[in-house]
Amino acid sequence: MATNIRDVRTALPIPTEPWETAKARFLAGLTPAELKNYEDATPENLFYDASAAQKKHASSSRSWIVQERITSLVQGIEEYGKALDVFANTSSLILCPLWGSIRVVIQIAAEAGKFQEKVVDMLAQIGDIIPRFRIYQVLYGKHERLLSALTEAYLDVLRFCTDVKTFFQRAKRSLIPLSIVLQGSWSSFRQRFENTMMKFRRHQKLVEKEASLSHQIEAAKSRELELAQRMQNDRIRTRFNMLSALRAVDYEIKHTKLLAAKHPGTNEWMKEHDRYKDWIASPTSNCLPCYGIPGSGKSILSASITSWLAEKLDADSVLCYYYCDYTDIVSLDSSYLMASLIKQLLVRLPLERVDDSLNFPFQEGLPPPSMRASRDCLIRLFQEFKIIYIVIDAIDELVQEDQRHILDLVTHLLNIPSPSFTIRIFLTSRSEDHSIRTALRDHKSINLSTTEVSGDISGYIQGMVDSIKEDNPLLKNDNIKQNVLSALVSGAQGMFLWARFQVLEIAEAFSESDIQEALDNLPKDLGETYMRIVQKAYRRGGTQRIELINKICRWLACAQRPLKIEELEEAIAIEKTDTYLHRDRIALGSGHRLVGACGNLVTIHDADGTVDFAHHTVKQFMCTKTLGNTLIHGVSIHINTESAHKELGEICVAYLSFSDFETQIVKTPAQFELGPKEAEAMIWNNNVPLRKYLKPIISGRISNKKSTESQHSDSLYFPIPLENKALHELQTHYALLEYIADFWFVHTAAFSRRNTNFWYNFKHLVLERTLPFDFRPWTRLAYKSNVEARLTNLYLEKLSRSRRWDKSHPSSNPLDANRKWHLDGMCFYTWVIREGYQSMFPLLKKEPLDEYLRVVYPWSESGFLDSHIIFEPITLALAYKTSSFWAPLNIVSQLNVQAPSATKTSQLLHFLWHEYRRWVEKEDEFFHSLALEAIPIAFNMGYGKIYPVLMRHLEKYSRNVQDVFAQLKSLGMPDDAARKVILSAKSAKDVEWES
């Protein structure tokens, strides 16, 4: 295609007219053969004609010598061509004249014998300057000013070739022999060449000047890029630290499990439901509650809606989802729910928006922040998006306090004034939970009635029956199959779970009469279904089978997270009296058989190899004592969770006391290196829910600029917790070790000195035992660092105020004086007061707490801290009767026993609440609720001296008697009793409220 010179002039950042003129001058007077050589010239055929004969002799001819001598010039032009590649049509305008002119000149000079060598020498002199040009072209090829200067220099080459061509053409036209003419006129031509070289050197200086400027520009850009890379690394590190601080559940694996259980084609009716369509299209924030009976498919419906919403997302929208699940205890904690929602927002947040302005309230190693702080963080992240979808399944499974937190959160989010975003919340709950229905009564809801789900249940049963036909050929009979479908669809009453268990039961029938008998005696509900499964297990395996089921279910009921199949295999093989791991008792590789022995009450999830109850109603059936879960032969399958936890706690203590671990030594590096790309990939691969939908969207919002190489490393370095590495290596031989190391203290929470057989080992484990991994949560680096920082700030503040410490002499800080024993003891104390485990309080050491109390609560502020009350009443009060002090009954009882006067009572209560607020960071509303609920208990127990103390705390929230009166009545307190309490407090002049 012909080159349009106007387009070329537009595309190039350099003047084109001089090249056009120089090219025209060179082409003038060329013979057809020379013109052909000019047009066909390339770097490859520069030194010889294109004929086969000349190619054959090229290596032995003088062209090989010529090629060697002007190599620098040729290579320089090639690099120059690469620099021009970014502009259109450069080859025809600039490169072709260079290659063509050099080729023609060399061939014309070849006819002049020794003068060819002189011409080549001249080209070689030009080429001697070119190597530095080549370096500039490589380094600064994108700088237009440098490119323009280089172009002027290379234009000198074309002009020189034109002079050579003209010189030889004139000599050829003379009648005098060519050698004589050249000999006579060479001196004047040599002078013109010197003038050309002077001009070339001036252009050389210009090139070097522009190269210097280009270097400065590149250096500035490099600094900018390095700064940008550092900022990006800081943001990656910040996000990494934020994600590490969040205690979230594995919501994605739960979602995967539910989708795996979904029958194809079910839940499609929801897309056409008017209320769902109104909710999804609403221009304002709203909530859509969905209610259903147990087993009606609420969780799988939530998973379906989550997947549909994920497909709708764009760069301005975000999806957060959460599944409350009885089988995963931590998922029933509202702090984990909040952390999981925040985590999903954080991984969707573009990296350039991750900075300290987020005011992230979570810190690794410390308890989660208050509900209010978490809510504020959530809202700050919401502001980065226009539409926020939230799906929360089974909020009825939360305890009442956590339910209230989440319902208050929903109300708050939906009433944010003039938000920059729209929130759409989908919730599911059991139909019979009236408190949730009442709280959400202003929102239109959907009920999973029999009518709504009948089509899905019919298809679900049809699919299950079809899937088991190969295992039971009886169901290939159309009449039998139709009878089964009709009976089960009718009996399901909207319960997918009930239908599933009946199909699995029918699959084991041996004859048509067995099937008909099963259909004639279908259980009326899930409880009766579970009882029949257990009875069948007893008939097959007797007492031994029931004991196995009970042992498996005890672990599943008390486990703080779903157990992996290999963990369960090992767990049921351990006895509390073991001193080492008896591997001969472990049913290795028999996990599916163990689950099968439970007769469909327990299931294995292929997605992650964990074992769970088939449904949370199975756990409820096993853990609720009724006539139904006691067998005819007197063998009970009921699980008392309190005694089960105690038994598992004894197993945990025995396990961590195994002699197996005493000789294990594992060394690891202190940190690992991670490049920015790997860091982002790690976040995408491990932390982002529904990443296949989200990554293409987010990738479009992140800058794709690539940084140049820098002398500074762009890698990020993250600490490796040594105990985690050791734990990982040991876990290949001890499957249950990771679980026990993470949760042993939960199962031992109710231990006391009365457990004489295990108390010594438990005390030794808590205070003294050394293992190759860190199993104590209060000794982990992140927790200790945070406690140390907070203690230091607290001490400096208190000592400075009391003038017992001089800021000019920091060495006098008592935290430095007794650093190790003091810090270790205080880490244990703060962790115990945060968790409230009864078993730990008797193990608190007096000395570090003594010093802490004297500094933080000086004599002038807390007169109750005298020598005989400074330690024992606190530990006794905190540890009283239950695994947690923070319950109204314990507050009332211990205040009455440990602080017999009203003054002492007030001071002790003030101390306890202040400490709990400091280390657990509960909101003030928590203490308000605690004090309010304690008043009726104190009244009923006749502890009238405690009223003023409790009422004083209420004064912060209730500014008049009527508020307190209404709140006490809401707790079921009679009018006369509530009035008596208030009057008693007022008569004691401890409370000054408006009438």
One-letter-per-residue 3-state SS of 804-816? CCCCCCHHHCHHH
Q: What is the pLDDT of residue 901?
A: 59
Strands 387-393 and 317-323: parallel
Q: Do residue 341 and residue 470 come from a single domain?
A: no
Tokens of 842: 């008797």
Q: What is the pLDDT of residue 941?
A: 76
pTM of the model: 0.66
Residue 618 CA from chain centroid, whole number: 32
| Most confident among 171-180, 909-918, 923-932 (mean pLDDT) | 171-180
Bridge partners, residue 636, by sequence:
630
- Do 106 and 180 meet the contact criterion of CB atoms below 8 Å apart? no
Q: What is the pLDDT of residue 986?
A: 62
Please report which confidence band the pLDDT of residue 31 belongs to, taking 50, 70 and 90 as the band edges: confident
**Which H or E run includes 680?**
helix 676-687
In this model, does residue 552 exceed pLDDT 60?
yes
Bridge partners, residue 605, by sequence:
610
Question: What average pLDDT does this structure show over 208-223?
Answer: 80
716 against 279, higher pLDDT: 279
Question: What average pLDDT does this structure show over 354-364?
Answer: 83
Q: Do residue 978 and residue 940 come from a single domain?
A: yes
Q: Is residue 195 part of a domain?
A: yes
In this model, does residue 793 exceed pLDDT 60?
yes
Q: Do residue 851 and residue 983 come from a single domain?
A: yes
Alpha helices in 688-818 (DSSP H): 691-699, 722-731, 737-747, 756-767, 781-801, 814-817
Please report which confidence band the pLDDT of residue 815 belongs to, taking 50, 70 and 90 as the band edges: low
Q: What is the pLDDT of residue 342?
A: 95
537 against 197, higher pLDDT: 537
Please report which confidence band the pLDDT of residue 271 belongs to, taking 50, 70 and 90 as the band edges: very high
Q: Is residue 937 part of a domain?
A: yes
Q: Do residue 88 and residue 148 come from a single domain?
A: yes
CA gap 657, 675 in Å, rounded: 40
Which has the minimum average pLDDT: 400-409, 701-710, 799-808, 923-932?
701-710
In this model, does residue 954 exceed pLDDT 60?
yes
In the Cβ-directed half-sphere of 675, how many Cα atoms lie within 13 Å? Answer: 2
Q: What is the pLDDT of residue 300?
A: 94
Q: What is the pLDDT of residue 371?
A: 87
Amino acid at the residue 67:
Q
Which has the minimum average pLDDT: 54-68, 386-400, 701-715, 941-955?
701-715
The alpha carbons of the chain give a radius of gyration, in whole angstroms, of 42
Q: Do residue 33 and residue 151 come from a single domain?
A: yes
CA gap 393, 344 in Å, rounded: 16
Q: What is the pLDDT of residue 821?
A: 55
Please report which confidence band the pLDDT of residue 383 belongs to, taking 50, 70 and 90 as the band edges: very high
Question: What average pLDDT does this structure show over 537-559?
Answer: 91
Question: What average pLDDT does this structure show over 271-278?
Answer: 94
Bridge partners, residue 286, by sequence:
424
In this model, does residue 774 exceed pLDDT 70?
yes
Question: What average pLDDT does this structure show over 919-947?
Answer: 73
Which has the minimum average pLDDT: 646-650, 657-661, 872-876, 878-882?
878-882
With a pLDDT cut of 70, the percent of the chain lying above it is 71
Please report which confidence band the pLDDT of residue 880 belongs to, taking 50, 70 and 90 as the band edges: very low
167 against 62, higher pLDDT: 167
Q: Is residue 850 part of a domain?
A: yes
Q: What is the pLDDT of residue 92?
A: 57
Q: Is residue 590 part of a domain?
A: no
335 against 42, higher pLDDT: 335
Q: Do residue 76 and residue 93 come from a single domain?
A: yes
Tokens of 781: 């680096």
Q: What is the pLDDT of residue 908?
A: 64
621 against 629, higher pLDDT: 621
Which has the minimum average pLDDT: 398-402, 709-713, 988-992?
709-713
Task: Look at residues 148, 117, 123 and name the one whose alpha carbon lies nearest to residue 72.
Answer: 123
Please report which confidence band the pLDDT of residue 100 belongs to, taking 50, 70 and 90 as the band edges: confident
CA gap 11, 30 in Å, rounded: 30
Question: What average pLDDT does this structure show over 36-43?
Answer: 76
Q: Do residue 108 and residue 213 come from a single domain?
A: yes
3-state secondary structure at position 983: helix
Q: Do residue 70 and residue 177 come from a single domain?
A: yes
- Do 97 and 26 meet the contact criterion of CB atoms below 8 Å apart? yes
Q: What is the pLDDT of residue 805?
A: 47
- Do 428 and 393 meet the contact criterion of CB atoms below 8 Å apart? yes
Q: What is the mean pLDDT of the chain?
A: 77
Q: Is residue 700 part of a domain?
A: no
Task: Look at residues 195, 58, 177 and name the one whose alpha carbon lies nearest to residue 112.
Answer: 177
Q: What is the pLDDT of residue 167?
A: 80
With a pLDDT cut of 90, the percent of the chain lying above it is 23
Please report which confidence band the pLDDT of residue 62 belongs to, taking 50, 70 and 90 as the band edges: low
Q: What is the pLDDT of residue 66?
A: 60
584 against 941, higher pLDDT: 584
In this model, does residue 422 exceed pLDDT 90?
yes
In this model, does residue 381 exceed pLDDT 90?
yes
Which has the minimum average pLDDT: 578-582, 685-689, 697-701?
697-701
String of DSSP letters for 79-114: HHHHHHTTSTTHIIIIIHHHHHHHHHHHHHHGGGTH
Residue labelled with tokens 């029938």: 509
In this model, does residue 270 exceed pLDDT 80?
yes
196 against 139, higher pLDDT: 196
Q: Do residue 160 and residue 218 come from a single domain?
A: yes
Q: What is the largest CA-CA distance in the chain?
A: 141
- Among 464, 480, 512, residue at a domain's last position: 512
Domain count, the chain: 4
pLDDT digits (tens, 9 = 90+) for 475-489: 888 888 888 888 888
Q: What is the pLDDT of residue 995?
A: 45
Strands 446-447 and 286-292: parallel
CA gap 566, 547 in Å, rounded: 20
Q: Do residue 159 and residue 302 come from a single domain?
A: no
- In three state form, how does the secondary structure of 873-925 look? HHHHHHHCCCCCCCCHHHHHHHHHHHCCCHHHHHHHHHHHHHHHHHHHCCCHH
Q: What is the pLDDT of residue 867?
A: 35
3-state secondary structure at position 289: strand
Q: What is the pLDDT of residue 654?
A: 95
Please report which confidence band the pLDDT of residue 601 belongs to, taking 50, 70 and 90 as the band edges: very high
- Among 404, 419, 448, residue at a domain's last position: 448
In this model, does residue 454 exceed pLDDT 80?
yes
Q: Do residue 143 and residue 268 come from a single domain?
A: no
Distances (CA, A) of 716 to 69, 122, 243: 50, 55, 16
Q: What is the pLDDT of residue 238?
A: 85
In this model, does residue 364 exceed pLDDT 90?
no
In this model, does residue 426 exceed pLDDT 90?
yes
> What is the domain range of residue 139?
5-224
Which has the minimum average pLDDT: 92-96, 100-104, 547-551, 752-756?
92-96
Neighbours of 375 (CB within 10 A): 19
In this model, does residue 900 exceed pLDDT 60?
no
Please report which confidence band the pLDDT of residue 418 belongs to, taking 50, 70 and 90 as the band edges: confident
- Do 248 and 340 meet the contact criterion of CB atoms below 8 Å apart? yes
Please report which confidence band the pLDDT of residue 666 belongs to, taking 50, 70 and 90 as the band edges: very low
Which has the minimum average pLDDT: 387-391, 448-452, 508-512?
448-452
- Among 224, 254, 289, residue at a domain's last position: 224
Which has the minimum average pLDDT: 451-465, 578-592, 862-876, 920-934?
862-876
Q: Do residue 410 and residue 462 come from a single domain?
A: no
In this model, does residue 372 exceed pLDDT 70?
yes
**Which H or E run includes 318?**
strand 317-323
- In three state form, how does the secondary structure of 834-868 look? HHCCHHHHHHCCHHHHHHHHHHHCCCCCCCCCCCC
Q: Is residue 63 part of a domain?
A: yes
Please report which confidence band the pLDDT of residue 443 belongs to, taking 50, 70 and 90 as the band edges: very high
For helices 737-747 and 641-656, angle between their N-to-C axes, nearest 10 degrees? 130
Q: What is the pLDDT of residue 570?
A: 95
pLDDT digits (tens, 9 = 90+) for 222-252: 787 887 778 788 888 888 888 888 988 999 9
Question: What average pLDDT does this structure show over 56-76?
Answer: 58
Residue 682 CA from chain centroid, whole number: 9
Q: Is residue 825 part of a domain?
A: yes
81 against 674, higher pLDDT: 81
Q: Is residue 213 part of a domain?
A: yes
684 against 933, higher pLDDT: 933
Please report which confidence band the pLDDT of residue 802 belongs to, taking 50, 70 and 90 as the band edges: low
